[in-house]
Every structure is written in structure tokens, then in C-alpha cells.
Amino acid sequence: MKKISLVLGLLAAGITSAYAQSSVTIGGIVDAAVQHKTNAGLTAATRGDSINSVIPGGMSQSRLNFNVVEDMGGGLKALANLEHRILLDTGSAASTNFWQQSWVGLESKEFGRITLGRQFNILFDAMTSTYASYKYSPYVEPFKPEIGMTLGARNDNMIKYLITAGGFAAEAQYSLAEGNALAASASGQSTGGFLKYSEGEFAVVGAYMALKDACPTAATGAAACTNKQAKQTNFGGSYTSGPLYLSAAWAKTQFELGFPAALNAALAGGFGLGMNANLATTALTDHRTMIQAGGTYQVTSALNLGANYWSITQNGVTPSFGDGTIKMMNVVADYAFSKRTEVYVHFDHSVLGGNLTLANTATKRDDFTVGVRHRF
């Protein structure tokens, strides 16, 4: 990443000659790919149709990032981060959140790190720091089933605290509910934490998080506020030895009866398949579990190969409706021309069972993707 270092002079005129060192790093990723997708028709009548498209990120989200670190002396640092996601195929913003991350904080060797703002939640942090799908890329952007088990990956209005000691790391979060309107992407109060231990080649982590649906504003009516929760527990670990990286994880999300269907569907959107309503119907979903296993092997300094498998099971409140399974696998080959530029190819395969289907009623889908990624 290209770094622009700015040296600040005296912080203020005073008796001492104290100086602070500040750095602003401007960087990002541009990633685009061509994808062939099967069973992609919009209706049951056309469900067997395939589609070819240019997608904005076959390996990573395209994004622009501003990262600030100010060393204030005595082991104390000020931190700030702004990250904007871009849809590279159209040049448009990816969502209503212009800044996908926007936070500020303080860090000390003695007391840890505290950050405030919109940021990744502890479930995402636990995954990417310990048992991410691929060593060279935390996950494949258009096919990332584990994101569907992170309760949204990012949360607004968050206070997050991280501390490390030896091989241990602990992180806790609290997101304040601030009267957001109830919508597919809205979420209210969240609480959670993880505990990680790493020693040599091994790393393990356990995490827990609870997410409430958002209470609406006064204009939308108090009756829409249920304060129902989704609660997730996950455990995962990894083993790294030279060019070999192996990871495995288990996760379970428990839904309180009455949890909003719109928010449930938004959380499940992380699976990246476009399921039918049975995946997220609030009256039917009791819990979902996921098992993940896979690995990466660095064949040469430039060539990486990887494969992962996910098994997702949903159980409904009533056993005959809402139950189902999703089996997903992905294989990737990534070749780096330089430290900044690489090409990749990956194949994804998904099979749905029980009462779960794609939105067009198909039960299978294959994706074949070829793309290029540049980091700056």
C-alpha cells in the first residue's frame, strides 16, 4: 500500500520539547471479475438459465481506505479509520453506508485499545483473526458463507475494546440502540465478546454475541419495536505450518420467536445465494448451525491454492416447515505477478435441501469466476 507520511511539528508551544509522530495511510483494493452463474433465472420458469456478468470483486471488496495513527509518546497512540466500498463495475457506492467503516480510538500497550463508531463486530474479528477461509484473503467476496453467521459483520454506534497479554487476546463490544427505523439493514443494541489463544502453529477462539432488532422512530409507531434477539456462539481454530494453513469452525445462531423477518433475511444474505423466504421467515426459524473446514497451500511464493467446505443446517419452530440444509464448497487458485497485482480463478458449488431453495426454486448453483485484484 502506498503510504503518505506526515510529520507534525510541535503540538503546542510549551515548556517541554515534546513531539508527536503522525502517519496517514491511503490505500485500497480494486478488484473485478467475470463470472458464469448457473440456475440464475429470476423465476421458476426460467430457473435453469445461466448468466454471465462482470462483478465488482471476485476475491475482495473494492475499497478506498484512510488509516490514521498518531504516536503521542509514552506508548499511547490515537487511531482513526475511514473505509469506502466501491462497486467497480459501475463506479457507484456499494450501499447506503458511504463509509463501511468509520471509527476513532486510543491504544496503549498497558491498557489495550478502545474504538468508537461503525466497525467490524467481534464475530467477524474472531473469524478473520483465527479461522478465516483463506490465508491470503479472509474470504472469497461473492461466496462467503461464514459472513452469514456473523450477525451482519459490522455494527453501528459501537464501542469496542481489545486487550492482549502473551498468547491471549480478549475483545468486547457494545452497540447502542439509538432509535433506528426498523428496516432490512437496521439493527439495534448488540453485546458480545471473544477470547482467543495462540501458541506457535495453533490458534483457537470462542465468541458470543447477541443482537436485538432496532426500535423504530416515533414516526413509525412503537408497535413495531419487538426487541427480539438473535444470539450466536462460535468456536474455531487454525493450524499453520510453513506453506500449509488449515482451519475449522462451528457456529450456531439462535433466534428468539418474533425476530423480524426483514432483518433475519438481511443477515442470511451473507450466504450470497438469494434464498427463498423459508430461510428467514421469523415465525419458522428457531436456529441455524454451520460447520466450516478447509485449507490453503502456498505452492510457490506466487501461487496459492485453497479449498473450503461449509455445511449449514436450519431448524424451524415446527419440524415440517422451515427445516433445511445448505452444502457449499469452493476451490481457489491465486497467482501473484507482484506484491500488488494478482489473478485468480475459483469455482463454487451449492446444494440446498429440505424446505430451502434458491429464490427461483432451484436447489443447485455453480459459479465459475476469473478476475484480477490490485492493492495499492
| DSSP E strand boundaries for 74-153 | 76-87, 92-93, 101-108, 112-120
Contact 367, 347 (CB under 8 A): yes
pLDDT at 5: 38
Here the cell at position 271 is 450466504
pLDDT the model gives residue 373? 97
Q: Contact 139/156 with Cβ under 8 angstroms?
A: no
Q: Report, in angstroms and rounded to the nearest whole number, the Rg of the chain calculated over CA atoms.
A: 22
What distance in Å separates the CA atoms of residue 326 and residue 311, rounded to the nearest whole number?
Answer: 6
The rounded distance, in Å, linking the Cα atoms of 296 and 291 is 17
pLDDT the model gives residue 42: 86
State how far the Cα of 6 lies from the Cα of 29, in Å rounded to an integer. Answer: 22
For residue 41, the cross-strand partners are none
Question: What mean pLDDT comes out for the span 41-49?
Answer: 90
Confidence label for 8 from pLDDT (cuts 50, 70 and 90) = very low
- Burial (CB < 10 A; 0-12, 13-18, 19+), residue 242, is exposed
Is the pLDDT score of 182 beyond 80?
Answer: no
Which positions ≥6 away from 250 have C-beta within 8 Å?
234, 235, 236, 289, 290, 291, 292
Quick one: pLDDT at residue 129?
94
Interstrand relation of 285-298 and 51-55 (parallel, antiparallel or unpaired) = unpaired
Cβ partners under 8 Å of residue 347, min gap 6: 330, 331, 366, 367, 368, 369
| Residue 175 pLDDT > 50 | yes
Q: What single DSSP character describes residue 153?
A: S
Quote the CATH superfamily of domain 3-375: Porin (2.40.160.10)
In this prediction, residue 13 has a pLDDT band, given cuts at 50, 70 and 90, of: very low
- Is the pLDDT at 283 greater than 70? The verdict is no
Residue whose entry in the numeric block shows the C-alpha cell 509514552? 74
What pLDDT was estimated at residue 200?
A: 95
- Going by pLDDT thresholds of 50, 70 and 90, the confidence category of residue 185 is very low
Residue 320 predicted with pLDDT over 70: no
Q: Which of 210-224, 231-245, 256-270, 331-345 has the lowest mean pLDDT?
A: 210-224
pLDDT at 280: 53
Average pLDDT over residues 337-352: 96
